[in-house]
A and B are shown apart, each in its own frame.
Chain A
Amino acid sequence: MGIDLRSLSQRGGAGFLRVLRERWDRPVFAALASVSLIALGLILFFIFSEALPLFRTISLSNFFGGTWLPTVEPNRFGILPLLTGSGLVMVGALVVAIPFGLAAALFIAEIATGIIKDIAKSVLELLAGIPSVVYGFFGLMVLAPILQQIAHIPYRRTALLASLILGVMALPTIASLAEDALTAVPRSYREASLAMGASRWQTMWRVTFPAAFSGIIGAVILGMGRAIGETMAVLMLSGNAAQMVGSFLKPVRTLTATIALEMAETPFGSEHYHALFGIGAVLLIITLAMNWIAEALRGRLARKHGS
């Protein structure tokens, strides 16, 4: 990197211009390539700098308090009900996504072959590509009436409804990343196990799965991150009641839905405005922490198997 002074002097008088003409690309590209870092920097800077003014008037313990009442005097900006709402919906989603996602991963990595495998992978990609507003629309128009009839719930939109749809949305993430982890296990592990007389199922369950375990946990954590950060589907399906709720059969409100619901009607620079950025900051911290943990686990797996 940088300009080689020796070659510059060797080329005589025109050397400097020549170096400029021939070597401009490296520093220019290095600078322009940082655009994604700049974008990330902008996100961190604006979310946190717009969230901080809130704490001039509100203590941290109030921010994590149990009442969210942003527009009625006296205003309360306690995000605990939103945190529990997000948590509840996420747990429900994982109950759906983990077993089915891991089954799909094992199926694709260990059972399916040839064209079936290709089709299954494409189906996962398509499932991951469906916009969240379409998932929300499908849940509201198709699944909600069915669910209401089966479970005899008085509410149309509940944590349960949001969890089911969110589970389907998190499934492809978990499945494809867990499949990556399983595929990354060296073939020699499987061959050794099969050569010892173990069946394919025994090999899969006792050798491959444990060997890929840290990567699989990474996949699950990344799925959790997706579920926490998902906005439109939960906004349309969870009912958005900002109360502390411990039941799947009642409406709940998540962190993401609160921002989407209230940002448009908030005066710029008001306490409420800063509180919504505060929620954004909490959301960002949670999802980024999950991403980094997942990356670290996946990285550990790759190092362990020396690939």
Chain B
Amino acid sequence: MMTGPAQIVKRRTTAQRVAFSLLTLASLLSFLALGAILYTVFRKGVSAISWEFLTKMPKSGMTQGGIYPMVLGSFYLTAGALISALPFGVISAIWLSEYAGGGWWVRTIRIGVNTLAGVPSIVFGLLGFAFFVNVLGLGASLLSGAFTLGILILPILIRAAEEALRSVPNEFREAALALGATQWRSVRTVVLPSAIPGIMTGAILGIGRAIGETAPILFTAAAIYKTRLPDTLIDTLMSRTMALPTHIFYMATENPRGWQAVDLQFGAALLLLGLVVCLNLGAVIWRTRVRRRKQW
């Protein structure tokens, strides 16, 4: 029987070594998934990316030419979502962090924000279809899609803005109040400016989310194929639009000639993936820098 103290310690060390190796290996495998996706999409898509691809209209049933209108459509949708949601997000965060304190109304709103964050994206599509498209009569249009995406990113914006506001030290507020400022004045001139970098992080994350969402715009805004761009602003806002994620979806599954343009499909996927990864990476780096720079 080998049960002396030395053996126990040895067995334990071996067990730890085995367990740690297995855990590390399993984690590495899951991180490898990211590498595999990035690498494959990049390798197969990079040849399609060119200035013409980004700035020209599609041709021959989208099997040739560029993806300019999809890029433009995604830009408009994302910008519209951010413009419509950011003010509400920041105001909600200001109230939650600066005015509310505790109480049942705060708890209710917090539960509301968390619940909204857990609603599946296709259900946002249903809401957009019933409310913006039909009840408000906006029809399937860029505007309907942008508003739908705006509601979708609202929880992201609120959470980031609240965190940013909360990280502003209390002395700042007290100093402003001691000088006779009203609470709103202290928020507007002292607290909010100090929180802008953190709010920006939230905005970037929101953009990264909105630009890649497909299900919410599928029947509120997306057009499968439009041969020309709309002429006027009203026409742009009130008509269906092509967008990058829906284009990838239609080409890969519904377009019978999609297989003739696999390169272009990978190009579009690479563009979207690249944008989203850069935005998220940018947000992470920006956030780290902001946190580090704050020496208050």
Contacts and interface: CB of A to CB of B under 8 A. Distances in A.
Contact of B33 (A40, A168, A235): A168
Contact of B280 (A33, A34, A126): A126
A249 B277 CA distance: 32
Interface stretch (B48-56, B65-73, B122-130, B230-238): B122-130
Chain B contact surface mostly: helix
A223 to B, nearest CB: 12
A201 B26 contact: no
B15 interface: yes
| Of A202, A260, A287, most B-chain CB atoms within 10 Å | A260
Interface residues of B, number: 87
B106 to A, nearest CB: 9
A84 interface: no
Nearest to B85: A35
A182 interface: no
Chain A contact surface mostly: helix
Interface string A9-52: 00000000000001111100110111111011011001100100
A33 B91 contact: yes
Given A36-B109, A36-B158, A37-B109, A131 B19 contact: no
B248 interface: yes
A264 B219 contact: yes
Contacts of A39: 116, 151, 154
Nearest to A142: B40
B20 A225 contact: no
A187 B212 CA distance: 39
Interface residues of A, number: 82
Contacts of B227: none
A255 to B, nearest CB: 9
Contacts of A90: none
A30 B211 CA distance: 30
B24 A107 contact: yes
B119 A288 contact: yes
Interface string B201-229: 00000001101111100110000000000
Interface in A198-230: 199-202, 205, 222, 225, 228-230
Contact of A134 (B135, B158, B273): B273
A100 B29 contact: yes
Contact of B116 (A36, A103, A104): A36
B3 interface: no
A50 B252 CA distance: 31
Interface string B83-96: 00000100110111
Given A103-B30, A263-B219, A136 B37 contact: no
A277 B119 contact: no
A26 B100 CA distance: 9
| Of A26, A129, A276, A284, most B-chain CB atoms within 10 Å | A129
A122 interface: yes
Nearest to B212: A131
Nearest to B140: A264
A129 B116 contact: no
Contacts of A256: 120, 122, 215
Contacts of A43: 116, 119, 123-124, 127
B295 interface: no
Contacts of A290: 118
B244 to A, nearest CB: 9
A232 B127 contact: no
Interface string B276-296: 110111001000000000000
A30 B100 contact: yes
A107 B96 contact: no
A277 B219 CA distance: 14
A295 interface: yes
Given A32-B92, A107-B23, A111-B24, A46 B120 contact: no
Given A199-B13, A256-B122, A140 B100 contact: no
A158 interface: no
B170 interface: no
25 contacts: A22-B182, A29-B98, A30-B95, A33-B100, A33-B109, A34-B109, A39-B116, A39-B151, A40-B115, A47-B127, A47-B130, A50-B126, A103-B22, A111-B20, A111-B24, A120-B31, A129-B209, A129-B277, A134-B37, A168-B30, A199-B13, A230-B120, A231-B122, A236-B249, A260-B215
Interface of B: 12-13, 15-16, 19-20, 22-24, 26-27, 29-31, 33-34, 37, 40-41, 44, 88, 91-92, 94-96, 98-100, 105, 108-109, 112-116, 118-127, 129-131, 134-135, 151, 154-155, 158, 182-184, 187, 208-209, 211-215, 218-219, 245-246, 248-249, 252-253, 262, 265-266, 269, 272-273, 276-277, 279-281, 284
Given A36-B113, A127-B34, A140-B253, 16 more contacts: A29-B98, A36-B155, A36-B158, A40-B115, A46-B131, A100-B27, A103-B23, A103-B30, A141-B44, A141-B252, A141-B265, A200-B16, A201-B16, A231-B120, A231-B122, A264-B218
